[in-house]
Structure 1
Amino acid sequence: MTATAPTDAADQDVTHPSSSPARDIALVAAFAALISASAYIGAIPVGSAGVPITLQTLTVMVAGCILGPVRGFSAVTLYLALGAVGLPVFAEHSSGVGVFSGPSGGYLLAFPVAAAVGGFLVKYVARDRRTSALVVFFCSLAASVFVIHTFGITGMKLFFDVSWREAATYDMPFWIGDLVKTSLVAMIAAEVHRAFPQLLQRD
């Protein structure tokens, strides 16, 4: 009986949804594809900077809040790598490393960090409360405010060579949309964690 116990434990580990490397790779690839698709939805330039509004922030934060810090970061990094090598997966069908030095470059560079921060907060701060949409909302909002908007403002300040105040005004049109998208992130992620409570057991 003691001889079969390690085998049973190993079998449980192999078949556990959160412990399969193949499943992790599939999730990372699937969310990278989802982020790529979301770049085409909307893509409406707004404000003086002309940076387009897309659903990227929605899918980036969904990736982080659902997959956790490591897999969320990996999915967004894979997305950026695909765009960097020439696939037209960025907003307005753009691609190449030059996009990172453009007006939206700060936002793009912020995405993997924001996914990691949001995922970290959901996994290690929210913990069992990650099935609450309100809790996930504040985890995602913190990552959006302190990472995405901070990086985005910095990128526009450097690109346009303007003051911090003026760069912040370029960023303001995105806030209302981001609050709506953060609400959607919270509802989606909370429902996923309610349905799959072991999803973040290993990340």
Structure 2
Amino acid sequence: MSSRCPILEAPPDARRHCPPPPPRARRYARAFPGPRRGARARRRAAHRGLAQVSISVPGSPVPITGQSLGVIVAAAALGPVRGMAAQLLYLLMGAVGLPFFAEGASGLERILGATGGYLVGFVPAAFLVGLAAQRGFDRRPWTALPLFAVGQLAVFAVGLPWLVLSARLGVAKAVGVGFTPFLPGGLLKAAIAAVLLPLAWRMVGPRKV
């Protein structure tokens, strides 16, 4: 048997021979029961599902989607490195043709297009949220809300300049079609995550940060 004896991978009859897992592994096992790969697959499926929640905004090339909600929740759960890696993998899978982007879109041209900056912005947003979550900012609603709002803004920090350059829009026009219409939805998604994450961590148990 491997000396690692991962808590989520060892067969049930063999786990009694394993050394006691670290507290974080026990919390992970309670929060995400079943094989580790299955848990990752469920998070990817949730992210893809939120990407298909898409509402067109009149006059704007950028739809309102649930993607950024999935990004900040996954980043808070995974931490900065794995959260960022998950978003890079998401972009890669969409770029090679899997229908993971909003409205079932895919392909490298979608990333390089006018709205691609919002997709690329998921990567720094995941890193920032994951880094702050490691320090416990996602454990209380009054600290989680500003954290997740900043995570939403990180997406726009990449998406807006990208939109200006790709669509050759003026700054004021880009803000009008690529930022202002999304403020209410962004705040709502940040509020939803700020309520759900502290509740989830409370159910899992105390967490070392």
Matches within 5 A, 1:1-203: 11-13=19-21, 16-17=25-26, 25-41=37-53, 43-124=54-135, 127=136, 130-145=138-153, 147-170=154-177, 171-197=179-205
Q: Distance in 2 between matches of 1:184 and 1:134?
A: 12
Letter in 2 for 1:40: Q
User: Percent of aligned pairs with the same residue?
Assistant: 29
Would the aligned equivalents of 2:138 and 2:147 in 1 still touch at CA under 8 Å? no
Structure of higher RCO (CA pairs closer than 8 Å, 6+ residues apart): 1
Report SS of the residue matched to 1:51.
Answer: coil
Would the aligned equivalents of 1:69 and 1:118 in 2 still touch at CA under 8 Å? yes
Q: Distance in 1 between matches of 2:115 and 2:194?
A: 25
Q: Distance in 1 between matches of 2:142 and 2:35?
A: 28
Q: What TM-score do the two structures reach when normalised by structure 1? A: 0.81
Cα shift at 1:199: 6.0
Cα shift at 1:82: 1.5
Q: Which has the higher helix share?
A: 1
Q: Which runs of 5 or more structure 1 residues have no equivalent in the other structure?
A: 1-9
1:81–1:198 distance in 2 versus 1, CA, 3 Å: farther
Q: Distance in 2 between matches of 1:74 and 1:18?
A: 22
